[in-house]
Amino acid sequence: MAVRGIVFLLSGLLLGGCMQATLDPVSDANFTARDKKLLANPPYEKATIPLTYQRHVVQYHRKEAPGSILVDTAERYLYYVLPDGKAMRYGVIVGEDAQAWSGVAKVGRKEEWPGWTPTEGEKKRLGPLPNYVEGGAHNPMGARGIYLFSGNQDTLFRIHGTNQPQYIGQAISSGCIRLTNEDVIDLYNRVKMGAIVVVLGPKGSENRVASAATRPRRLERSPINWNLTQSRRAWGSLN
């Protein structure tokens, strides 16, 4: 038992650096009946998420208020700030270098199993796509959508689930922040409308430390990264 305790302590120190991390097991206690049905046999390959990108409660040393969200795009983490100097940390997929963004926004809308309407630009760029994709496990928006606003304007950036969990910890999206469906459900249940969302830019950039005066750039297209091979695999008869 003593050896097991030492191994666990060393593991926590390695994962969190100066932060002591404790694993928060994934639970379906907050899943709706629809969640359980759609995630029981999802139309995508289940992935083994590296331990460092699994959900943890960690020490949090920045000054964001409890209830805020901070995204560290360089480290591929999203933090939901808790009281008493702690945060829930999730592994995420972030935007590619050319699609990365930073700034401060607020949660302006929340939706369960959101639908997706591909833009004309996406159809030209990515190949044949339907005009609309109903919400579901095959949809690249995943189980939940958290929509980021600047004032009353939709920035078109989202925090949402994914049908590509194998890419957690990587930078492949078109700007949106993606979590596993299980983790985005957990985050969705915690975050409130109007919550502040801070997104840190790449290390060494001018916008690494975001301020309330920094607003995310508004895109003129949908921010979802759509992989045609993955879409065919996920949709089956739809393509």
User: What are 178-202's pLDDT values in tens digits?
Assistant: 999 999 999 999 999 999 999 998 7
Inform me whether the pLDDT recorded for 231 exceeds 60: no
- Average pLDDT (33-44) is 93
For the beta carbon of residue 13, count every other beta carbon within 10 angstroms. Answer: 13
Tokens for 218, please give them: 């508004």
Domain residue limits, the chain: 14-238
* Catalytic residue list contains 18: no
Is 233 a residue whose pLDDT tops 50?
no
Name the least confident of 58-72, 121-135, 222-236: 222-236
Catalytic residue among 18, 56, 61, 176: 176
Which one is catalytic: 18, 61, 138, 160? 160
176 catalytic, yes or no? yes
pLDDT of residue 102: 84
> For the chain, what percent of residues have pLDDT higher than 90?
56
pLDDT, residue 104, reads: 95
**pLDDT tens string 47-97:** 999 999 999 999 999 999 999 999 999 999 999 999 999 999 999 999 775
CATH code for the structural domain at 14-238 = 2.40.440.10
